[in-house]
Amino acid sequence: MDLIAISDIYGDTRITKEFLLKLDNSKKNDRIIIVAGDIDIKMLSDDYYQNVNKILRLLSENCRLLIYLPGDSDAEDLNIHQENTINIDKNNLVIEKDDMKIGFFGLGGAPAHSVREKRFSAYLWDENIPTVRESLMTNLKINLEKLMISQPDYIILITHAPPYGTADYSTPITIKEEVLLGEFLEELGKGSEKIGRKRLSRNPRHLGSRVIKEFVKYYKPDIHIFAHIHKQGGKIITKNGTIFYNVSHLSPLPYRLTGRKFLLLRLTKQGVTYSFNSVVTKSLSFQDFLEAYL
């Protein structure tokens, strides 16, 4: 079974189309596409639901099944009604193909401590509050138990946020990166003045979820796909029986050189093979590359 995972699109239909051009069109009826959140930015988009519908429709037309969940920049109640599209946030699903069963379950949003500018995020949860922490953990456990009834060959956890301490390390934001973020917001028609001039922390830190870390450490899903921390995009880590993939980020902004990534996964009875690919056309000359992507 072939899976393709992306995240952090931020309403960019152009990059979505460029991504789809990189895929093998002959396999579109067999593959599953996973979107691990941040499809658009609800707090900055007047046409948020229209943009999300358009992006998910483009993706769903190029796969057998589209699995998505809302990220911190998305609406928590996001629910797109398309024939082969499912929101896996606080939900579960079993797919049967090639004599295999694959179980999926997920958790959207992100912990409040993981974002610098909360006003740009619509779906955050504070895992330091005991009742919130317990609710998140209980939901993950229930959906896993439902999957286990089917005895799947692989169990795949999809979250927007990483587990604490795994591909979640934030490095200091540079002046250039802040300028690019300003350009990004300006392109959305809201102006870079919305950012403000508050000095950001210069200390690298872990921004993942402790709830997700605790859950994964104890229950050990076979595969964990997540996003959210852009500078850790493309990281693959194997520990305690779980393979972790940070699939950040398809959008070229705010980090132009580290974006445009997507993950290819192939699951068989024999095991998992994978690769990170890029929307960037690698055959371009250096000059053409600069003009096209910078």
- Helix (H) or strand (E) run with residue 274 in it: strand 271-278
Contact 184, 253 (CB under 8 A): yes
What is the CA angle 204-34-252, rounded to 5?
Answer: 50
- Whether residue 202 has pLDDT greater than 70: no
Q: Report the pLDDT value the prediction gives residue 82, as an integer from 0 to 100.
A: 86
Helix boundaries (H) for 149-262: 175-187, 210-219
**pLDDT band (50, 70, 90) for residue 185:** low
What span, in angstroms and rounded, lies between the C-alpha atoms of 290 and 176?
Answer: 16
Q: Is 281 left (phi over 0), alpha (psi -120 to 50) or beta?
A: beta
Going from N- to C-terminal start, the domains of the chain cover 2-293
Question: CA-based Rg of the chain, rounded to a whole angstrom?
Answer: 18
Tens of pLDDT along 94-121? 999 888 999 999 999 999 999 877 878 8
Chain centroid to CA 51: 17
Question: In the chain, what percentage of residues exceed pLDDT 70?
Answer: 83
Give the pLDDT mean for 239-268.
Answer: 89
Can you tell me which residue has the tokens 């072939």?
2
- If one compares 60 and 182, the residue with the highest pLDDT of the two is 60
CATH architecture, domain defined by 2-293: 4-Layer Sandwich (3.60)
Residue 148 in tokens: 């286990």
Q: Report the pLDDT value the prediction gives residue 65, as an integer from 0 to 100.
A: 96
Q: Report yes or no on whether pTM surpasses 0.85.
A: yes
